[in-house]
Every structure is written in C-alpha cells, then in structure tokens.
Chains A and B, each alone.
Chain A
Amino acid sequence: MSVIAPELTDLQAVVEEVWSTFVGYEHPLCVRQVPAGTPLDSGVWSGAVSVTGEWQGAVTVELADDVAVAISRVMLDVDPSESLNDDDVADAVGELVNMIGGNVKSLMPGPSALSLPAVAAGRAVFPSDAHEVARLDLLWTNQPVRITVHTPGSPR
C-alpha cells in the first residue's frame, strides 16, 4: 500500500513560514539529523491535530519545555518578568500545531477537515495503527523541536 506523505522540503517550508511569522527571525531554526525512533532528548510539550477526509493523518509538534515557554511569551506578548501558567503554554502550542497542521493539510489531497488541537505537557500519544511518514528534527536556541506526520495503515 502506498502512503501519501508531504515532502520533507515542503514540511520544512511550512514550519519555517509559521515560525518566522509568529515567533520571529532572531534565532534560526536549524535542521538536525536524528535516527528514527529516538525520543526527544528533554522534557517536552506536544500538540497534535488530525486530518480526516480524502487524506487522513495526524501532525504533531513536540517542543522542549524552554522552547514552548519562549514561543508562548512571544505569541502572547508576555514580558520575561511575568510568569506563564500551563494554560498559556497550551494555548500557544495549540495554535502553533493548528497553523502547521492546517498548512500540511493544504499540501495533501482534499477535501478534508482539520480537528481542533490537542495539547499535552509531555510526549504526544498516537493510535496503535499510526505510522510516521515524515519527521523534521530541528534546533531552536539549541533546544529540540520535532514535527511529525503520521498516517494510519502500513508503514512507508
């Protein structure tokens, strides 16, 4: 069975556009090579959206804690002297995965529908039949960021 997945270059372009627009250009997002199956090497926040319709899949974003907090401060315009709570971080991570997932959806065959985002303080969970079809490992301020696309069915 062939699995339709976004090209990594397209996925990277989507992530860079969203990131540069809403997080900024001050610190670059750098691609890094990580062997498949390697868990993210720090405490993480994760967000996921699913796509249903002509193309089915899920897009997840996993961010080191420090990255999640930093992007939340930028997106919510919260000064470093002010504290953030988990709801603030969940909101920002949810919007980030919503924008990345929505733009991945636009790369795939339609029509399809995007779910509301689900966010967790910890690693994302996946259905048992979900297979990774694209993964982008990045570093931002020397902290890991991972974008993954999963589809149901056989592995690629």
Chain B
Amino acid sequence: MRALIIDDSRAMRSILRRIVNGLGFESAEAGDGQQALDVLESGFNPDICLIDWNMPVMDGYTFITKVRDNPEWRSMTLMMVTTESEQKQIVRALAAGAHEYVIKPFTPDAIADKLELLGLRATEVPA
C-alpha cells in the first residue's frame, strides 16, 4: 500500500509519515497541491492521499478537483487531514471527491481507523 502525504508543514508530514509507515504503508510527500500533482505525474501511484486544506501555491480543495478531473486518477482514495472544521467546508470537500475527513489534532488511532474504514490495510506491518 502507498500513501501520498500532502501538507505544507514538514512537522505534520513527519507525524503522518510515522503513522502510515507504522501501519505498513510506503509513503511519499508533497508540500502543496501542485507538488502533489507532480508526484502523481512522475508515476507514484498511491492508494490514498492525505491532504491538508490550507497550503500555499495550490490548496487541498483545488488538488482534489484536479485529481477528480483526470480520468487516470479518478478512482484514487482521498482523505482530507486539516484544521478546517466548518460543516460547509467539510461538505464541499466531500462533494468535490474526498472520501474521508479528519480534523487536526488527530490521534494515530483516528488515522488508522479511517484507513480501515476505507478498506486500506497494509498487508504487512514492518517490525
């Protein structure tokens, strides 16, 4: 299983990387939506993208719309991981194509539970 972590904060990417790697995922990272599109175009094919909302250059919402506009990526699983907690914004992200929504702060268990709900379980957890 592969995860693409998209957040402008290296600290947050580090936290998420430790969580998903601990769950047995291989991970790649991007600092904004445009960098994430570049990673996808380079051939990294993630099972899930974990996406912050507020980022410079390209925000997470725009990234979702770009992914959903591309037939090659349309089936990719997308999960917002953000401080944005307004109901209207959550609905907007889900309507644009996000499958799940996690509000910061989160626990490792919350991320693991959401991944399991999405049917994403790594086959082998590293020792």
Contacts and interface: CB of A to CB of B under 8 A. Distances in A.
Contact of B9 (A94, A102, A105): A94
Contact of B83 (A76, A92, A101): A101
B106 interface: yes
B50 to A, nearest CB: 14
Interface stretch (A27-35, A108-116, A128-136, A146-154): A108-116
Given A75-B14, A77-B14, A98-B54, A91 B83 contact: no
A115 B104 CA distance: 16
A65 interface: no
Given A76-B11, A94-B9, A116-B56, A99 B86 contact: no
Interface string B43-63: 000000000001110000000
Contacts of B56: 116
Nearest to B8: A116
B15 interface: yes
A91 B55 CA distance: 13
B84 interface: yes
Contacts of B106: 21
A92 B11 contact: yes
Interface residues of B, number: 22
B75 interface: no
A103 interface: yes
Contact of A114 (B9, B11, B54, B105): B54
B18 interface: yes
A66 interface: no
Interface string A23-53: 0000000000000000000000000000000
Contacts of B105: 17-18, 21-22, 99, 103
Interface of B: 8-12, 14-15, 18, 54-56, 82-86, 88-89, 104-107
Nearest 3 Cβ contacts at the A-B interface: A102-B83, A75-B11, A21-B105
Given A17-B105, A116-B56, 20 more contacts: A18-B104, A18-B105, A21-B107, A75-B12, A75-B14, A77-B14, A77-B18, A91-B10, A91-B11, A95-B11, A98-B9, A98-B83, A98-B104, A101-B83, A102-B83, A102-B85, A105-B83, A111-B86, A111-B88, A116-B55
